[in-house]
Amino acid sequence: PIPAAASAVHGITDEVVRRSGIPAATAIPDLCRRFQELAGRNLPLIIFNAPFDWPFIHAEAVRHGCTMPEFNLIDPLVLDKGLDKFRRGKRTLVVTAHALGIRLDDAHSALADAVGAAAVARALAEKHLYLQTLPLSELQDVQAQWYSRSAESFEAYLRNRGDRGVKIDRGWPIPDSVKEALG
């Protein structure tokens, strides 16, 4: 069952899935084939907050016996934090889009979020010459470093506030703890 709190955010209920969903045994292999095609064309995959969504996709691929291709990923959340470290406030897709002058309608629907993530990535590239000149293959390492530094900084912040035992996972695009679980 889909938790009511999650349905309140994205609008997907158990009834919607029963009525309109595609069985995972069909959808996941099809998704893997589409990803193979994109990776074969050397197109990047844009995922806002990749460490949240990408592990689910990987785990489902493994569960359904699919091979996930190696992708160049673009994570606009990591880019925004790395390029504008001191901007105050939340870093949700909606807030980040708004900060870049992008209007995001129907947030939390898959299509709107995908279009919004791409628009944020494009706006960041237009704003920062550094991104325009960096090869995609190098961008992977840069994003991993920025993500790790951000996690380290957040961990230090939490420890300074009294949470001495906190440990923030530094793995990007798949958290280290998830890599261990996936084998």
In this predicted structure, what is the pLDDT of residue 183?
67
**Span 133-143, pLDDT tens digits:** 999 999 999 99
Q: Which of 36-40, 73-77, 138-142 has the lowest mean pLDDT?
A: 36-40
Q: Residue 149's CB: how many other CB atoms inside 10 A?
A: 14
In this predicted structure, what is the pLDDT of residue 67?
87
**Span 158-176, pLDDT tens digits:** 999 999 999 999 999 999 9
Choose between 119 and 71: higher pLDDT. Answer: 119
- Domains in the chain, please, with CATH? 4-182 (3.30.420.10)
> Which residues sit opposite 73 in a β-bridge?
45
**Span 107-147, pLDDT tens digits:** 778 889 999 999 999 999 999 999 999 999 999 999 999 99
**How much is the pTM?**
0.89
Task: Quote the mean pLDDT of the chain.
Answer: 93
Contact 142, 134 (CB under 8 A): yes
Q: Terminal CA-to-CA distance of the chain, rounded, Å?
A: 27
In this predicted structure, what is the pLDDT of residue 88?
92
CA distance 38 to 69: 9
Q: How open is the CA angle 17-69-44, to the nearest 5 degrees? A: 85
Mean pLDDT for 75-80 is: 98
Mean pLDDT for 61-90 is: 93
In this predicted structure, what is the pLDDT of residue 99?
95
